[in-house]
Chains A and B, each alone.
Chain A
Amino acid sequence: MAEPVIELRDVSKRYGARAAVESLSIALERGSFTALLGGSGSGKTTALKLINGLIAPDAGEVMIEGRPAGEGPGYALRRRIGYVFQEVGLFPHMTVAENIAIGPRLAGWDARRTGERVAELLALVDLPPDAGPRRPSELSGGQRQRVGVARALAAGPAIMLMDEPFGALDPVTRDALGRDYRALHERLGLTTLMVTHDVWEALLLADRIVVMDAGAILADAPPAALLAGHPDARVQALMETPRRQAERVRAMAERP
Chain B
Amino acid sequence: MEDRFDAALALLPGYLGQHVLVSASALLLGLAVSLPLAVGASRSAALRWPVLALASLVQTIPSLALLALFYPLLLALSAASRAMFGHGFAALGFLPSLLALTLYSMLPILRNGVAGLSAVDPAAVEAARGVGMTDRQRLFWVELPLAAPVIMAGVRTAAVWTIGAATLATPVGQTSLGNYIFAGLQTENWVFVLFGCVASAVLAMAADQLLGLIESGLSARRRWRIWAGLAGLAIGLAACLAPLAGAGGGANRYVVGAKNFSEQYILAELLADRIRKTGAAVDMKEDLGSNIAYQALKAGEIDAYVDYSGTLWANVLGRRDNPGRQAVLATLTEALARRDGVRVVGAIGFENAYALAMPRAKAAALHIASLADLAAHASELTFGADLEFLSRPEWTAVRRAYGLAFRREVQYQPTFMYRAAASGQADVISAFSSDGRIAADDLVVLADPRHALPPYDSVLLVSPRRAHDARLIGALSPLIAKIPVEAMRAANLSVDRDRDKATPAAAARALEGRLGL
Residues of chain A touching chain B, judged by Cβ–Cβ distance below 8 Å, are 52, 54, 73-80, 83, 85, 87-93, 102-103, 106, 135, 151
20 contacts across the A-B interface (CB closer than 8 A)? A54-B129, A54-B130, A73-B134, A75-B133, A75-B134, A76-B132, A78-B129, A79-B131, A79-B132, A83-B130, A83-B131, A85-B123, A87-B123, A89-B124, A89-B126, A91-B128, A93-B142, A93-B146, A106-B131, A106-B137
Please judge, given known A-B contacts A92-B146, A93-B145, A135-B221, whether A106 and B132 are in contact too, CB under 8 Å: yes
B238 CB within 8 Å of chain A: no
Q: Contacts of A80 on B, CB cut-off 8 Å?
A: 132
CB within 8 A of A91: which of B127, B129, B132, B134?
B127
CB within 8 A of A54: which of B121, B126, B141, B146?
B126
CB within 8 A of B133: which of A88, A93, A106, A135?
A106
Interface size on B, residues (CB 8 A): 18
Please judge, given known A-B contacts A92-B146, A93-B145, A93-B221, whether A78 and B131 are in contact too, CB under 8 Å: yes
CA distance A91 to B145 in the complex (A): 10
Q: Contacts of B130 on A, CB cut-off 8 Å?
A: 52, 54, 78, 83, 85, 89
CA distance A52 to B129 in the complex (A): 10
CA distance A103 to B134 in the complex (A): 12
Q: Which residue of A lies closest to B146 (CB)?
A: A93
Per-residue A-contact encoding for B432-448, CB less than 8 Å = 1, 0 else: 00000000000000000
CA distance A80 to B123 in the complex (A): 20
Q: Contacts of A103 on B, CB cut-off 8 Å?
A: 131-132
Q: Contacts of B145 on A, CB cut-off 8 Å?
A: 93
CA distance A107 to B134 in the complex (A): 12
CA distance A31 to B133 in the complex (A): 26
Q: Contacts of B133 on A, CB cut-off 8 Å?
A: 75, 106
Top 7 nearest A-B pairs (CB, nearest first) are: A89-B127, A79-B132, A78-B132, A89-B123, A75-B132, A83-B130, A93-B145
**CB proximity of A103 to chain B, nearest CB, Å:** 6
**Which positions 215-247 of chain B face chain A at CB distance < 8 Å?**
221
CA distance A85 to B128 in the complex (A): 11
Q: A89-B126, A89-B127 are in contact. List 16 more A-B contacts (CB 8 A).
A: A54-B126, A73-B134, A74-B129, A75-B134, A79-B132, A80-B132, A83-B130, A83-B131, A87-B123, A91-B141, A92-B124, A92-B146, A93-B142, A103-B132, A106-B131, A151-B131
Whether A91 contacts B142 by the Cβ 8 Å rule is yes
CA distance A80 to B145 in the complex (A): 26
Q: Contacts of B121 on A, CB cut-off 8 Å?
A: 92
CA distance A52 to B124 in the complex (A): 17
Q: Contacts of B132 on A, CB cut-off 8 Å?
A: 75-80, 103, 106
CA distance A85 to B124 in the complex (A): 10
CA distance A80 to B130 in the complex (A): 10
Whether B126 contacts A85 by the Cβ 8 Å rule is yes
Q: Contacts of A88 on B, CB cut-off 8 Å?
A: 123
**Which positions 99-127 of chain B face chain A at CB distance < 8 Å?**
121, 123-124, 126-127
**CB proximity of B126 to chain A, nearest CB, Å:** 6
CA distance A75 to B132 in the complex (A): 4
**CB proximity of A155 to chain B, nearest CB, Å:** 8
Q: Contacts of A89 on B, CB cut-off 8 Å?
A: 123-124, 126-127, 130
Please judge, given known A-B contacts A85-B123, A85-B126, whether A102 and B221 are in contact too, CB under 8 Å: no
Between B126, B128, B132, B145, the greatest number of chain A beta carbons within 10 A of the residue's beta carbon is seen for: B132
**CB proximity of A194 to chain B, nearest CB, Å:** 16
CA distance A75 to B221 in the complex (A): 28
Whether A85 contacts B127 by the Cβ 8 Å rule is yes
Q: Contacts of A73 on B, CB cut-off 8 Å?
A: 134
Whether B131 contacts A102 by the Cβ 8 Å rule is yes
CA distance A73 to B133 in the complex (A): 11
**CB proximity of A5 to chain B, nearest CB, Å:** 18
**CB proximity of A15 to chain B, nearest CB, Å:** 16
CA distance A92 to B128 in the complex (A): 12
CA distance A92 to B218 in the complex (A): 12
Q: Contacts of B134 on A, CB cut-off 8 Å?
A: 73, 75
CA distance A90 to B127 in the complex (A): 7
**CB proximity of B95 to chain A, nearest CB, Å:** 39
CA distance A103 to B133 in the complex (A): 9
CA distance A80 to B137 in the complex (A): 17
Q: Contacts of A78 on B, CB cut-off 8 Å?
A: 129-132
Between A77, A80, A85, A88, the greatest number of chain B beta carbons within 10 A of the residue's beta carbon is seen for: A85
Whether A91 contacts B124 by the Cβ 8 Å rule is yes
**Which positions 75-102 of chain B face chain A at CB distance < 8 Å?**
none
Q: Contacts of A52 on B, CB cut-off 8 Å?
A: 130
**CB proximity of A178 to chain B, nearest CB, Å:** 22
**CB proximity of B219 to chain A, nearest CB, Å:** 10
CA distance A74 to B221 in the complex (A): 31
CA distance A79 to B123 in the complex (A): 18
CA distance A78 to B221 in the complex (A): 29
**CB proximity of B119 to chain A, nearest CB, Å:** 13
CA distance A76 to B133 in the complex (A): 8
Per-residue A-contact encoding for B135-149, CB less than 8 Å = 1, 0 else: 001000110011000
**CB proximity of B502 to chain A, nearest CB, Å:** 60
**CB proximity of A62 to chain B, nearest CB, Å:** 16
CA distance A72 to B130 in the complex (A): 15
CA distance A80 to B132 in the complex (A): 8
Q: Contacts of B221 on A, CB cut-off 8 Å?
A: 93, 135
CA distance A80 to B131 in the complex (A): 9
Q: Contacts of B123 on A, CB cut-off 8 Å?
A: 85, 87-89
CA distance A106 to B127 in the complex (A): 14
**Which positions 153-199 of chain B face chain A at CB distance < 8 Å?**
none
Q: Which residue of A lies closest to B135 (CB)?
A: A75
Between A78, A87, A89, A102, the greatest number of chain B beta carbons within 10 A of the residue's beta carbon is seen for: A89
**CB proximity of A137 to chain B, nearest CB, Å:** 10
Q: Contacts of A93 on B, CB cut-off 8 Å?
A: 142, 145-146, 221
**CB proximity of B377 to chain A, nearest CB, Å:** 81
Q: Which residue of B lies closest to A103 (CB)?
A: B131
CA distance A32 to B293 in the complex (A): 84
CA distance A3 to B510 in the complex (A): 101
Q: Contacts of B129 on A, CB cut-off 8 Å?
A: 54, 74-75, 78
Q: Which residue of A lies closest to B137 (CB)?
A: A106
**CB proximity of A195 to chain B, nearest CB, Å:** 14
Q: Contacts of A76 on B, CB cut-off 8 Å?
A: 132
**CB proximity of A111 to chain B, nearest CB, Å:** 17
Q: Contacts of B146 on A, CB cut-off 8 Å?
A: 92-93
